[in-house]
Amino acid sequence: MGSVLVALCLVVMGWAKEITGHFVEDVESRKTCTIVLAVFSIYAVDFAINAGRLFFVRKLVRVNANERIVQACCRSLIVDTLPIPKQQAGSAWASRMVSIGHLVGYMVGTVDLVKVFGKSFGDTQFKKLTLVAGFAIIFAVGVTCWAVTERVLVSSGREEEAPGPIQIVKRIFKSTMELPPRIQAICWVQFWSWIGWFPFLFYSTTWVGETYFRYDAPNEIRDTKDALGEIGRIGSMSLVVFSSVHFMGAMILPQLIKSPEEKSFTARPPAAIAEIVTVFQKYKPDLLSAWICGHLMFSSAMIFAPFAHSFRFATILVAMCGL
């Protein structure tokens, strides 16, 4: 239901001007209503995306307050359906598949869809992208719902009264305040790091595109009627590079980082590379070291962002964030 709502709101966002024009005749009022409808669609998309996450938060509060809350309900399927020894591999494969999806999506964004497919099903790049995104999310979530079977929860026989909204908020607040110190520290790191990541996720495409228009674009590009589309295509190209780096990192880094369950000895390698493998195994970084390096790389990229005076340098900074 959340995915269907997301798809519908994306279409409303793309056709906000046409929808308001059908009901409102005054030009000035139409502009205001278009903005209101578009903003409402953005908020509706955000709430719909978080519907599954809210369900998962409620579920964890009732079961175990110390469980790790993942980023979205799709990630919760890994926790719900896989045994603990396979959850790390499942998360790695989820990251790889997300990277492939990002790569395909951003590559579609770099193509001038209006020129390729004409003005049917939308006369702008943005309208066509909202249609592609809407169909993609419904198809992907539909396949997931068909393929995944959740375990049946057997009742203990005691009927528990369903908590109301106030009780849920109290439980979440109480669980948050009573987290073990190490888990609380992890949550604080995630909280502050996501304050940095959200602007990247929302504005990186616009930032790279505007950097291109400000410093690199020729005059004929500046005078085009679809400047917003040009910005989107240039920004999408930078995110194609970002996704490519992210995909390679998702494939390679799990092999180079020591897993918490990894045994202390190394299987006997071929004699030609035995010495190299032994030295690498000795200095192989653990998850904590990799996590720290990731935050340091991201913060370094953000510190250098104000000094980007070409879209190539901006693209390099975006690519750094892919690791």
Rounded to whole angstroms, what are the CA distances from 143 to 10, 93, 105, 147, 148?
20, 17, 18, 6, 9
CA distance 62 to 73: 16
Give the pLDDT confidence score for residue 261 in this predicted structure: 64
Which 3-state string (H, E, C) describes the chain? CHHHHHHHHHHHHHCHHHHHHHHCCCHHHHHHHHHHHHHHHHHHHHHHHCHHHHHHHHHHHHHCCCCCCCCCHHHHHHHHHCCHHHHHHHHHHHHHHHHHHHHHHHHHHHCCHHHHHCCCCCCCHHHHHHHHHHHHHHHHHHHHHHHCCCCCCCCCCCCCCCCCHHHHHHHHHHHHHCCCHHHHHHHHHHHHHHHHHHHHHHHHHHHHHHHHHHHCCCHHHHCCCCHHHHHHHHHHHHHHHHHHHHHHHHHHHHHHCECCCCCCCCCCCCHHHHHHHHHHHHCCCEHHHHHHHHHHHHHHHHHHHHHCCCHHHHHHHHHHHCC
Give residue 58's pLDDT. 37
pLDDT number for residue 234: 78
Q: Tens digit of pLDDT per residue, the chain (323 long)?
A: 878 888 888 888 888 888 888 888 887 888 888 889 888 888 887 777 665 444 333 333 333 322 222 235 676 777 788 888 888 788 778 878 877 887 787 777 777 777 777 777 777 778 888 888 888 888 988 888 888 887 776 666 666 667 778 888 888 888 878 888 888 888 889 889 989 998 888 888 888 888 888 887 777 666 666 666 677 777 778 888 888 888 888 788 877 787 766 655 455 656 666 666 667 677 778 888 888 999 999 999 999 999 999 888 999 999 999 88
Which pLDDT does position 13 carry in this prediction? 87
Beta bridge partners of 286: 258
Give the chain's length: 323
pTM over 0.75: no
Q: Which residues contact 49 (CB under 8 A, 6 or more apart)?
A: 2, 6, 72
Identify the pLDDT of residue 253: 81
- End-to-end CA, the chain: 33
The pLDDT, as a whole number, for residue 301 is 92
Task: Report d(CA 212, CA 312) in Å as an integer.
Answer: 8
Tokens of 20: 């308001």
- The pLDDT of residue 224 is 67
